[in-house]
């Protein structure tokens, strides 16, 4: 008798994450101050072993939706994260809205001062965001990604806000 020693098929696909720097410039090529927070998040996630791609909309011509649609398709993105300050509301919202228009199942995360300043109203205004990261996010984002990947509990993660049963947690 021949035995098959192959391990059973287990889904070990790790999600693909896309960090999107919202467009801050009026015209591609204009100068702007690059916020370091998104760089810290990217570095922290990569060090933890997550599949991270980045997209800086300040260096890409074209419609935000079309650019994000192409990135999601080409890189098989499962989670889109972005962030900014309160005065950048429309650009941050355009990123999470575009991601959800491309695929309603994509998980969206928003961080930065827009969430940290007043989390609940920000999440209501950014209606397409699934999670908000409050405060410094280098540790929190990795805890959140771990819970997403392993279908864990979000309630034990400090520094996030999300909706559950029509209430913010």
* Distance between first and last Cα of the chain: 56
pLDDT for 35: 83
From the first residue on, what is the mean pLDDT of each consecutive set of 10 residues in the chain (169 residues)?
Answer: 40 85 91 89 97 96 97 98 95 98 98 96 96 96 96 95 92
Instruction: Residue 104: name the closest of 132, 75, 125, 78 by CA.
Output: 78
C-alpha 60, offset from chain centre: 19
Query: What Rg value do the Cα atoms of the chain yield, rounded?
Result: 17
The pTM assigned to this predicted structure is 0.90
CA dihedral 23, 109, 55, 32 (to 10 degrees): 30
pLDDT for 12: 55
Beta bridge partners of 24: none
Between the alpha carbon of residue 163 and those of residues 23, 72, 89, 133, the distances in Å are: 27, 24, 19, 13
pLDDT for 5: 42
pLDDT for 2: 39
DSSP strand pairing (131-133 vs 51-56): unpaired
Give pLDDT tens digits for 52-92.
Answer: 999 999 999 999 999 999 999 999 999 999 999 999 999 99
């Amino acid at each position: 008798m021949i035995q098959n020693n192959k391990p059973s098929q287990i889904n070990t696909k790790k999600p693909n994450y896309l960090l999107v720097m919202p467009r801050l410039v009026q015209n591609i090529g204009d100068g702007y101050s690059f916020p370091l927070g998104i760089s810290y998040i990217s570095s922290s996630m990569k060090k933890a072993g997550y599949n991270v791609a980045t997209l800086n909309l300040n260096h890409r011509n074209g419609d935000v939706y079309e650019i994000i649609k192409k990135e999601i398709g080409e890189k098989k993105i499962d989670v889109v994260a972005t962030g900014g300050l309160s005065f950048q509301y429309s650009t941050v919202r355009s990123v999470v809205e575009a991601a959800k228009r491309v695929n309603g199942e994509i998980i969206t995360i928003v961080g930065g001062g827009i969430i940290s300043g007043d989390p609940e109203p920000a999440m209501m205004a950014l209606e397409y965001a699934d999670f908000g990261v409050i405060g410094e996010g280098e540790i929190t984002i990795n805890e959140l990604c771990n819970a997403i990947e392993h279908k864990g509990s979000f309630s034990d993660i400090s520094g996030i806000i999300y909706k559950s049963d029509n209430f913010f947690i």
